[in-house]
Structure 1
Amino acid sequence: MSFTLATWNINSVRLREGLVARLMADEGPDVLCLQECKSPVEKIPVETFRSLGYTHMVARGQKGYNGVAILSKLPLEDAGGRDYAALGHARHVAARLPNGVVIHNCYVPAGGDIPDRAENEKFGQKLDFLTEMRDEFFAERPARSILVGDLNIAPREDDVWSHKALLKIVSHTPVEVEHLGAVMDAGKWVDVTRQDIPQGLLYSWWSYRAADWDTADKGRRLDHIWATPDISGAAHGSRILRPCRGWEGPSDHVPVFASFDL
């Protein structure tokens, strides 16, 4: 079974329904994982997506905030969702493909602006969220699984425009990178994107605050595709669709792709 998967923080699936449809029509990934849908499940524009061949969906929704969805041309079985750190947020959903592979779609909290849990409750929630993910994967030892999503951390020095400038900026601080590394180690996850593109600056997010995001190019790689070791060798064709950041009315994130032959 061969399939292509994409992950995209869409920053409102209803507001950017047309952009999702454009990606589906132009790129046609077999599975599309969306984060920050900002919609109850029943208000996700599924008819538009079904008309483009995405006849299956597993989702967790929330009015105005968060929300994750897995849209697929392939049959999906709902494999549950976790409320990490008991935040009451729709930030995780899992689905099982016909070949038994489980896809985890995650939206890790951004963590606010101050990288200190004593001064910033949101930063503490982010670390707690990651700690519970680590503990779950350590206990369950996932197999034949793929984890994707906006993990809101750029772990490597070449995942940000300036390692030195961002060391004290939320998303690239050492404590966040350490926590994300612990999640990876607990599940023995392989970073598929960096497996395929091991060297060089690589970004999936550019701030709305930049007057000219493309020229400034102060990006971060916040969006990830991981796989367990038993299937990571079957992954290939990773790419980041940078041009989407220049579409009219864009998300500040762009889709990340990988293909699998299983």
Structure 2
Amino acid sequence: MTFTLATWNINSVRLREALVCRLLTEEAPDVLCLQEIKTPVDKFPQDAFRALGYTHMVARGQKGYNGVAILSKLPLQDAGGEDFAALGHARHVAARLENGVTIHNFYVPAGGDIPDREQNVKFGQKLDFLTQMRDWAHGGRPARSILVGDLNIAPREDDVWNHKALLKIVSHTPIEVEHLAQAQDAGAWVDVTRKDIPEGRLYSWWSYRAADWDAADKGRRLDHVWATPDIAGAAHGSRILRPVRGWDQPSDHVPVLAAFDL
């Protein structure tokens, strides 16, 4: 079976329902993982997506903040969700496809503006979340699994517009990169996007603060697709849909896609 998977921080699914429908119509991924849906599950606008063939969904939501959902044309079984760092946030949900592949959808905390856990509680929560991701992967020894989402860290020098300028900016600080690497190593996760596109600058997020995001191009690759080694070789065709950032009333993130032959 070949299927295409997309991940996208939508920054309110109810506000951007039409954009999700446009993506599903134009790109037609078999599975779409959304982060920051910002709604309880009972208020999720599922009818519009069902009409486009996405009749299966697992989700964890909360009012006004966070929230993760997996929409699919393919049958899904709810595979649970973890409350990493005991924050009480809807930041992880998992679903299992009929071929036995488990998809984990994550929304890692952004971490605030100050990269110091003593001065900024949110930064400490982010590091604790990543530490528990590490321990979860190490303990669970995931197999036939895909991990996607807004991980809120751009790990490589060419994942940001200016490595030196961002070394003290949350999302690219050495301590965050180290914590993410430990979480990745614990599950032996393969960065599918960089497997397929090993060289060159790649971004999936551009700030709303830029007067002209496209011309300034001060981006970061915060959104990721990982896979366990047993299926990473089946991944191909990774793409980041930069033009989506120019749609009307866009999210500040764009979709990241990959295909799998499994």
With normalisation by structure 2, the TM-score equals 1.00
Letter in 1 for 2:112: G
Partner of 2:261: 261
Give the superposition deviation at 1:52: 0.3
Q: Is residue 2:61 matched to residue 1:61?
A: yes
Q: Deviations over 1:135-176 (max 9, x none)?
A: 011011100000000000000000000000000000000000
Give the superposition deviation at 1:133: 0.5
Partner of 2:207: 207
Q: Distance in 2 between matches of 1:27 and 1:132?
A: 34
Q: Distance in 2 between matches of 1:136 and 1:242?
A: 32
Letter in 2 for 1:228: T
Q: Deviations over 1:163-204 (max 9, x none)?
A: 000000000000000000000000000000000000000000
Partner of 1:84: 84
Partner of 1:145: 145
Q: Distance in 1 between matches of 2:67 and 2:134?
A: 21
Pairs within 5 Å for 1:59-208: 59-208=59-208
Letter in 1 for 2:69: A
Unaligned runs of 5+ in 2: none
Q: Distance in 2 between matches of 1:94 and 1:147?
A: 9
Pairs within 5 Å for 1:240-255: 240-255=240-255
Give the superposition deviation at 1:84: 0.2
For residue 113 of structure 1, give the secondary structure of its aligned residue in structure 2. Answer: coil
Q: Deviations over 1:62-93 (max 9, x none)?
A: 00000000000000000000000000000000
RMSD: 0.2
Q: Deviations over 1:92-129 (max 9, x none)?
A: 00000000000000000000000000000000000000
Give identity over the alignment, percent.
Answer: 82
Q: Distance in 1 between matches of 2:75 and 2:13?
A: 21
Letter in 2 for 1:98: E
Q: Distance in 1 between matches of 2:141 and 2:199?
A: 29
Letter in 2 for 1:114: I
Q: Distance in 1 between matches of 2:104 and 2:140?
A: 14
Give the superposition deviation at 1:33: 0.1
Unaligned runs of 5+ in 1: none
Q: Distance in 1 between matches of 2:35 and 2:252?
A: 12
For residue 7 of structure 1, give the secondary structure of its aligned residue in structure 2. Answer: strand
Aligned length: 262
Q: Distance in 1 between matches of 2:129 and 2:110?
A: 11
Moved over 2 A (4+): none
Letter in 2 for 1:86: A
Give the superposition deviation at 1:237: 0.2
Partner of 1:235: 235
For residue 184 of structure 2, give the secondary structure of its aligned residue in structure 1. Answer: helix
Give the superposition deviation at 1:247: 0.2
Q: Distance in 2 between matches of 1:167 and 1:48?
A: 42
For residue 71 of structure 1, give the secondary structure of its aligned residue in structure 2. Answer: strand
With normalisation by structure 1, the TM-score equals 1.00
